[in-house]
Amino acid sequence: MASLLDLESSRDKLVEQIMALIEEEQVEGKTDTIALINSFDELETQIATKVDAIAAVVAAKEGEIAYLRKRRDNFNSQIEIRENALSNFKTYLKKIVENRDDSTIKGREATIKLVKNGGKQPLWTNGNIPAKDFPANLVTVQTSYKICIETIRQQLAESGAEELVVDGEVLAKLQPRGTHLRIG
């Protein structure tokens, strides 16, 4: 089966032939235009069929993706439910072990034991005292800059310019819009 590109190329060549023959007919008066028009109609039908087939394939693939996303979301939901249940069970088990005199429960092959966490020890800071009121050697000062894109867009829109120039230097410029396919 011919590709869409091949079909359109054939149609373009046929249009060129028709135009050349029409010019010839005006000079000589001899052309089988009915055969050319039938060929043209046949190519147009093939192109329309090809476009419909492409749209159907795209729609089917989008449907598959939507189905797989739905399954993924369902699996993620089931995972979250099981993780929460396991976390709740471990919290319950931890409370049981914390309330025992011996913080170890031994089985034949496994042991449940309450142990201290590793890593850095948690630190509480008084939330009622603002960070700026802590002694200077206990705080760090942070400054961050963020470009306000909406303000730049507004200035460009008001000026009608494509780029923002300050002190001879281009700070920002509008970029061409992208494109996308619409099938359907």
- Residues with Cβ within 8 Å of residue 11, at least 6 apart in sequence: 40, 43, 44, 47
pLDDT at residue 32 in the model: 64
Q: Residue 3, class by beta-carbon neighbours within 10 Å (0-12 exposed, 13-18 middle, 19+ buried)?
A: exposed
Is pLDDT above 80 for 182?
no
pLDDT at residue 171 in the model: 92
Helix (H, G, I), strand (E, B) or coil at 166: strand
Measuring CA to CA, which residue among 153, 145, 146 is closest to residue 172? 153
Query: How confident is the model over 149-167, as a mean pLDDT?
Result: 92
**For residues 18 and 40, is the Cβ–Cβ distance under 8 A?**
yes
pLDDT at residue 82 in the model: 97
Is pLDDT above 80 for 17?
no
pLDDT at residue 12 in the model: 81
pLDDT at residue 28 in the model: 53
Q: Residue 31, class by beta-carbon neighbours within 10 Å (0-12 exposed, 13-18 middle, 19+ buried)?
A: middle
Q: At what angle do helices 33-98 and 4-28 cross, to 10 degrees?
A: 160
pLDDT at residue 1 in the model: 67
How many whole angstroms separate alpha carbon 87 and alpha carbon 94?
Answer: 10
Helix (H, G, I), strand (E, B) or coil at 27: helix
Which of 16-30, 35-49, 77-91 holds the top average pLDDT?
A: 77-91
How many whole angstroms separate alpha carbon 47 and alpha carbon 36?
Answer: 16
pLDDT at residue 22 in the model: 66
Is pLDDT above 70 for 26?
no
pTM score over 0.85: no
Query: How confident is the model over 103-132, as a mean pLDDT?
Result: 88
Query: How confident is the model over 60-80, as a mean pLDDT?
Result: 96
Q: Report CA 172 to chain centroid distance, whole Å.
A: 25
Q: How confident is the model at residue 91 (pLDDT cuts 50, 70, 90)?
A: very high
